[in-house]
Chains A and B, each alone.
Chain A
Amino acid sequence: DQQVKQNSPSLSVQEGRISILNCDYTNSMFDYFLWYKKYPAEGPTFLISISSIKDKNEDGRFTVFLNKSAKHLSLHIVPSQPGDSAVYFCAASAWYGGSQGNLIFGKGTKLSVKP
C-alpha cells in the first residue's frame, strides 16, 4: 500500500512555462514533506521541504504547496528550464516517539523541459 503517490510518471513542459508536479499521501500523521530531484546515474538532490504548519514554501524558482485537508502537495517550477529535466521524488515523514521517522518516497515523476 503506497502511502506517497505520484500518479503522473512523466510530464513534458515548454521552456519558460510553469511545471507542476503533484503528490498525494494517505497517512494523516505525515507532518514533513520534501522534494528531491534526480538525474540519471546520480543520487537525489534535496530541493525544498515544507512542514505541516505551513501551506507554502518558496525558494527561488521552486515553490511547494501543501493542502492538508486534501492530503496533497505540489511543486511548482517557474520558469522551467531545460536543466530542470530530471526525475522528481516526493517524500514524507511523520513524528514518532520523539523523533522524525524515516522518509517514505513516491515513485517519481520524470520532467522533460523542451527548449
Chain B
Amino acid sequence: SQTIHQWPATLVQPVGSPLSLECTVEGTSNPNLYWYRQAAGRGLQLLFYSVGIGQISSEVPQNLSASRPQDRQFILSSKKLLLSDSGFYLCAWSVGGASTQYFGPGTRLTVL
C-alpha cells in the first residue's frame, strides 16, 4: 500500500531564515506530487505540483520554491522566510491522470 511522509511535523523559524520541508511517497511509481498551504481560517491553496523528476509548476507567485530530485521525493524551500509564510503545509500525491489526491500528515510552520 502507498504511504506518504512529511517532516518535520512542526517547525518554528525566525523571519529571514531558510526553510526546507521534505515529502516522500512509498508504494507507487511516477506519482504526481503537490504542495498545499492551509492558512488559518482558509482553504487549501495549491502552491506547486510536479508530474515528474525536475518538473515543477508553480500556481502562485511567492517566496517559496519546490524541487523534485527523485521520483518519490518533493521538497519545499525558501531562502528567507516571511511572517506570511506561517501556515500548515501539506504534501499530496496522485496517480497521474487521476484526480483523487492523498495527503500527508502536514507540517505546522510558525515564522516569528
Contacts and interface: CB of A to CB of B under 8 A. Distances in A.
A42 B106 contact: yes
Contacts of B43: 89, 105-108
B99 interface: yes
| Interface range on chain A (Cβ under 8 Å from partner) | 20 to 34
A103 interface: yes
Interface of B: 6, 34, 42-44, 46, 49, 59, 88, 90, 92, 96-106, 108
Interface string A87-108: 0010001000001111101111
Nearest to A100: B99
Contacts of A106: 43
Contact of A34 (B34, B88, B100): B100
A103 B99 CA distance: 7
Contacts of B104: 43
Given A34-B100, A103-B99, A41 B44 contact: no
Interface stretch (A44-52, A66-74, A78-86): A44-52
Contacts of A65: none
Contact of A46 (B6, B42, B90, B100): B100
Contact of A43 (B49, B97, B100, B105): B105
A95 to B, nearest CB: 9
B2 to A, nearest CB: 12
Contact of A105 (B44, B97, B106, B108): B44
Given A102-B49, A105-B44, A106-B43, A43 B98 contact: no
Given A43-B90, A46-B100, A93-B99, A102 B106 contact: no
Given A99-B96, A102-B49, A107-B42, A46 B102 contact: yes
Contacts of B98: 100
Given A99-B96, A100-B97, A45 B103 contact: yes
A34 B43 CA distance: 15
Contacts of B106: 41-43
